A and B are shown apart, each in its own frame.
Chain A
Amino acid sequence: MKEPKIIVVGGGLAGLMATIRVAESGVPVQLFSIVPVKRSHSVCAQGGINAAKNLKGEGDSTWIHFDDTIYGGDFIANQPIVKSMCEAAPAIIDLLDRMGVMFNRTPEGLLDFRRFGGTLYHRTAFAGATTGQQLLYALDEQVRRFESEDKVQKFEGWTFLSAVLDENRICRGICAMDLKTMEVRTFPADAVIFCTGGIGAIFRQTTNSVVCTGTAQSALFQQGAYYANGEFIQVHPTAIPGEDKCRLMSESLRGEGGRVWVPRNAGDTRPARSIPEKERFYFLEEWYPKYGNLVPRDVATRAIYKVVFEEKLSLAGMNAVYLDLTHLPREMLDRKLEGVLEIYQKFVGPDPREEPMKVFPAMHYTMGGLWIDNERQATNIPGIFTAGECEYQYHGANRLGANSLVSCIYGGMVAGPAAVKYARNLEKGCDATPESVFYAEASRQREANDSLLNQQGFENPITIWKELGAWMTEHVTVVRVNANLQKTLAKLDELDDRFSRVNLADRTQWSNQTLQFTRELGNMLILARVITLGALARNETRGAHFKPEFPERDDKNWLKTTKASYNGGKIKLEYEPVDISLLPPRSRKY
């Protein structure tokens, strides 16, 4: 066979790492991204990246990192693959350091580490409070270098529509759309690596970026890929509520000493700083003395819900709690956290160095994603690999802070070579695939566009999206009640029906963002159903999945991975065992 053809879809951390690994092995890569890759959502990661380098004399180890991750994820992650990630993490930090990431330093010139949620160790390397941005830029620069050597060809401003599958359901390439010219085209490939990130847009007001719609995952799901553990959705405890998005206020603020509190007296209208210490309720520190403000995110989020909705101790006039940094030295705040404080100042106004911030939980991350095997980041569709937030391994039922960046990079490092190996071992590559297979897929996608463009009706895609987001946020995030999940499914039926009557206010064929968004919305509606069905079925409480009707973890019935599949418009759930060969499950009490 000739030199294989590899496509990477998505240019965030995982996609860029996969691209680098493929290009490094001498195989050319075509890299597709909706936005210029340097603008990918990875830039929003703030606090840092975990690796048990044990540079603070605490006796940290990759085993403890592994244990924290499995325990934090409430034992539903397959253990060997998580262990491999934790073992690879220290070398990943070294690699990023060699690439020129401006990590914060100790006086000796070594990397500095800070504390994060769900661990008692200083394990998080960081570059100010814009670590994701700095990591993404480092990988972007390396990819640009390969681009200058013609080993990488970028297709920025293209959106993935569907995989090209041959008659044996083997992936032979992709079908994509140029977002400027609206041209729909197929691209042959022997293997495709999907690194298409999160799904936040399904919940609308989240910490995610605009492109995080899960459209690619949903399209692949509809083409036969399994979607695993969709019901596990992380709600970050501290964000600035906002109409267009909720802006993350990093866990690192608490890692560096920030404290969460509310006034002990309901409806206290005094300015925060004039409330005396004894009239403040530091509920995380009181309830969780060992981990304090650094309990895992699901625990902190539920605690905030309890304080705000059950104990009615919310701040006057809004559902929020204080995140207080005013006792910390200014110099340290500026050196280590400026990027986040700047966001608060620009979008809210007051200086968090002077006045406690007002924050509230917001949907942040999906632990679930495309199902992959336990070794090669391979989906059940031959030729399709994936890495990053769009797949389901590594984080179980709740992701620990600063583990996402390491899982993205590790996943990309594995997926790249795995895809190359698969492609090289193919007896017949995409070159041998009949032209008609590509033609048929492109026609299908053009027809889907035409049908939307010509559709008559009075429904607006943004209105449907707003309702979808509101329902999913209310019923399928922090507290899940079966009756409400049932109602949500009925609502999704209604939205599906209305979606078939969407009227595109723009029918042009040049940079038609309405058409692009409406296609994404169609895919969001299907993933929303996968998430809701998974949550409805799982009658237990585990990690971020909290059901008051079933308040305990139920290992006997539910220590298993949810696998959703799609056939003829119907979603089916099945389950497979979790690999718990290294750590026996124990009860999770912080």
Chain B
Amino acid sequence: MMADKTFILRIKRQAAPQERVVWEEFEIRYRPHLNIITCLRDIAEKPITRAGDGTTPISYDANCLEEICGACAMLINGYPRQACSALVDNLEKPIRLEPLTKFPLIRDLQVDRSIMFENLKRMKCWVPIDGTYAIGPGPRMSPEQQQIGYPMARCITCGNCLEICPKVNDHTQFVGAAIINQVRLFNMHPTGNMHARERLEAMMGPGGIQDCDNAMNCVKVCPKSIPLTESNNEINRQVLKHAVWDWLNFSEGPTERDEEWKRLGIQK
């Protein structure tokens, strides 16, 4: 009988953030259509390294396994992507797995991406509705507008675009392309637009759009092919317009519009 075809998986492991890094190698039995998640489950069933040493199962995040929840992003052969849609057939061997590096490590391939959700909060990425009561339909929208908005709304918050971005590092607070894209999405929605001013001001602050240096790696690693470059350009344009508008109107003392806003109780 012919021996099963196998291949090698090299995994960067760390039992906890303060523990030392070790690399472990595993020999995995090849099957067609195998993905990285199945390899990790193989290891959980038989946690023995290639050298024959017993070890612990690999810690990693995963949920939907069809590339729509965003959970299983990791570095696969050095490239940020989802482990579920990374098929062994298409990967150079030995396959190298590492955790994303731009987020705090939890254990092995697991990282903490809560900063992305925090930034969505900071940027007010929601439509401010009055309540959930039955008060009629939403604003009308042309099919063309929907076809622009929908691709932006498909962001799965995986963090690949932050991982690949040279400006996301220890020295900046750059929020990254995913968040900028969401700002564009909500600014374009007829009701979401009512918070546009606050979002743009946040975008002008620390970690905002000015930190982007147009490396445009983000768009190459987005698993959902979101037009991140367009989103960056559009927010850049909106921020500039907003800044110029501010400078023209409010740079020297109160203007008419300022007075009007004051009467209406709107905080500038």
Which A residues contact B (CB, under 8 angstroms)?
A: 20-21, 24, 35-36, 38-41, 43-44, 91, 94-95, 97-100, 102-110, 127-128, 130, 133-134, 137-138, 141-142, 144-145, 147-148, 156, 180, 209-211, 242-245, 247-248, 335, 339, 343, 346-348, 413, 460, 462-463, 466, 505-506, 508, 510-511, 513-514
Contacts and interface: CB of A to CB of B under 8 A. Distances in A.
Contacts of A105: 141-143, 145-146
B160 interface: no
A64 to B, nearest CB: 21
B64 A24 contact: no
Nearest to A156: B114
Interface string B75-94: 00000000011010000000
Nearest to B192: A100
Interface in B128-149: 128-129, 131-132, 134-143, 145-147, 149
22 contacts: A24-B131, A36-B117, A44-B68, A95-B132, A98-B129, A99-B127, A100-B186, A102-B153, A103-B146, A105-B142, A109-B141, A133-B68, A133-B156, A148-B121, A244-B41, A244-B65, A346-B67, A347-B33, A462-B44, A510-B16, A510-B107, A514-B44
B129 A142 contact: yes
A133 B156 CA distance: 9
B146 A144 contact: no
B57 interface: yes
Contacts of B46: 460
Contact of B143 (A39, A107, A134, A466): A107
Contact of A244 (B45, B54, B84): B84
Nearest to A46: B68
Contacts of B131: 24
Interface in B211-253: none
Given A144-B125, A144-B126, A39 B69 contact: yes
B8 interface: no
Contacts of A128: 150, 154
Given A38-B157, A98-B129, A210-B63, A511 B110 contact: yes
Contact of A43 (B69, B129, B147): B69
B138 A94 contact: yes
B72 to A, nearest CB: 9
Nearest to B182: A141
Contacts of A466: 45
B86 to A, nearest CB: 10
Please list the 10 inter-chain residue pairs (A to B) with the smallest Cβ-Cβ separation, ordered nearest first. Answer: A97-B138, A109-B140, A141-B126, A100-B127, A462-B45, A91-B134, A98-B138, A39-B69, A102-B150, A506-B56
B208 interface: no
A102 B127 CA distance: 12
